[in-house]
Amino acid sequence: MIAVIGDPETATGFRLAGVEEVYEYSEGGEDVARVLDKLAKVGVAIVIINEKLAAEAKNREKIREINAKKKGVIPIIVEVPNKKGPMAKEIDEIGRLIKRAVGVAVQ
């Protein structure tokens, strides 16, 4: 199953694409962290989250916690840009996961 957490535009786009599990937020907060936790516990395979929401401190912390605790591959948490384009990132989360899984940094 695929779930999406995003702003209204992102949520609408994924609903039109047929994704049924969509959570829409204009601003983040603790609700996003709770939804991430819930999705990880129910076994959602892919969680697509808006970069801006993922960048908020509590949400970033929750994403790292989920990635650290998972024993297999799922859930895969993918960050997508909003309509304004990608954000500048200090740390590449996907690269961090690859390094953890493979043991080598991929550039």
Q: What domains, with CATH codes, occur in the chain?
A: 2-102 (3.40.50.10580)
Band (94; pLDDT cuts 50, 70, 90): low
Decide: 21 and 3 in contact? Cβ < 8 Å. yes
pLDDT digits (tens, 9 = 90+) for 4-41: 999 999 999 999 999 999 999 877 667 899 999 999 99
| 3-state class percentages of the chain: helix first, strand second, coil last, to nearest 5 | 45, 20, 35
Encoded tokens for 25: 């937020």
Residue-wise burial string across 48-79, b where 16 or more C-beta atoms lie within 10 A, e elsewhere: bbbbbbbbbeebbebbeebbeeeeeeebebeb
pLDDT digits (tens, 9 = 90+) for 64-87: 999 888 888 889 999 998 877 665
Q: Is the pTM of this model over 0.85?
A: no
